[in-house]
Amino acid sequence: MASSGCCCMISPITHAFVFFLLVSSSLCSVRSSETGGLHPKDQTFRPGDELQKLKIITEQMAVQSPDGDIINCVLLHHQPAFDHPRLKGQKPLDPPERPSGVNTNGMGAEDFQLWRMSGESCPEGTIPIRRTTEADMLRASSVTRFGRKRPTRRVRRDSTGNGHEHAVGYVSGDQYYGAKASINVWTPRVSNQYEFSLSQMWVISGSFGDDLNTIEAGWQVSPELYGDNYPRFFTYWTTDAYHATGCYNLLCSGFVQTNNRIAIGAAISPTSSYNGGQFDISLMIWKDPKHGNWWLEFGSGILVGYWPSFLFTHLRDHASMVQFGGEIVNSRAGGFHTSTEMGSGRFAGQGFGKASYFRNMQVVDWDNNLIPLSNLRVIADHPNCYDIRGGINRVWGNYFYYGGPGRNVKCP
């Protein structure tokens, strides 16, 4: 694998300078507000000017990833979320109260992405954002649909709308305030540019019509979105069943990122191998009891950021369903079912080391407690193409294996 390098070296001196500018501008802003403002001739340090300089500096800071991505370091308050009218002029919120029952042993690893292989990260006060290229835009079906899933009337049990097919486990019939699971990561084959394969959690509310609200996170292989076949850490949200609201990652105003070491949309490494080592990622989404925003945590204690509650209609209160599992797009090129793989590309019956899995699935209750699933149901749209098998034990709690190869003798 090619070694990674920097487009612009982020040295300790640069880190220190960035920190100095952030602190100095912050202090000056406070002083100005407390004294009713200073006359220009009295100001020896102008926050606006210095922050503009800092913006130029951080925009020049970029990490070249081995997979060809360029990761830019962007000031926290210059990320896309703060283009939203409701967020303009604000700053990211402080960390929320975590659900009780969360394992607090260790903090987890933040170096699970290819761009971090050189040990680089973005300075405090900035966040890493995968650079969107002209080629990325040109691959999209249209400019307006760039970074968005195609509209669908259902998230599960239906594979006729736009060819989406699923193998999922889900719980419903209660009020849910979050979910947690560990998912092993693979590199499934995707047959053409207009298909994808993903494994994720959905936090869902509303009907399965045009008012569907979802918050989603997991890993995906999407040649159309990223231009390659690497599995990538992703997020998604919508408030209208994928029609006009929401997007992947940070491609629109919505998700507020707070972490300077994780790049949403960047490639994951390592990945699991057949009959070899298994690599999984743990994700938790939960509703902050104090402010009502939905937070995303990676590993144990690593906050990625949050979805402001005002983005949503039904999810402003709680979720009515939580779903875990795999999804692919079947374009039926040539009139046949796609050979795009789900998960590892192996059926659930092959088990550990061969099939994909979700393990230690839990939900968050009304009192901010992580609790086991009580009524997990599993279902596959096309079990001859992709299937799923659930179980429960003392180590993995609620779990299931899922996936498949797509087109085969029984799935023509």
Catalytic positions, please?
216, 327
Among candidate residues 376, 325, 391, the one with its CA nearest the CA of residue 172 = 376
Distance CA 129, CA 221 (A): 18
Distance CA 80, CA 37 (A): 29
Cβ atoms 167, 381 nearer than 8 A: yes
Distance CA 353, CA 346 (A): 10
Phi and psi for 58 in degrees, rounded to 5?
Answer: -70, -30
Helix/strand/coil percent split, the chain, to 5? 15, 30, 50
3-state secondary structure of 233: strand
Find tokens 């690893």 and name the residue: 109
What CA–CA distances, in Å, run from 256 to 252, 253, 300?
10, 8, 19
Among candidate residues 412, 276, 402, the one with its CA nearest the CA of residue 332 = 412
Give 225: exposed, middle or buried? Use CB within 10 Å, 0-12, 13-18, 19+: buried
Phi and psi for 108 in degrees, rounded to 5?
Answer: 80, 170
What CA–CA distances, in Å, run from 117 to 183, 200, 387?
22, 24, 35
Among candidate residues 362, 364, 226, the one with its CA nearest the CA of residue 295 = 364
Distance CA 48, CA 315 (A): 37
Cβ atoms 147, 154 nearer than 8 A: no
Q: With the C-alpha atoms ordered 177, 76, 21, 90, is the resulting torsion angle positive or negative?
A: negative
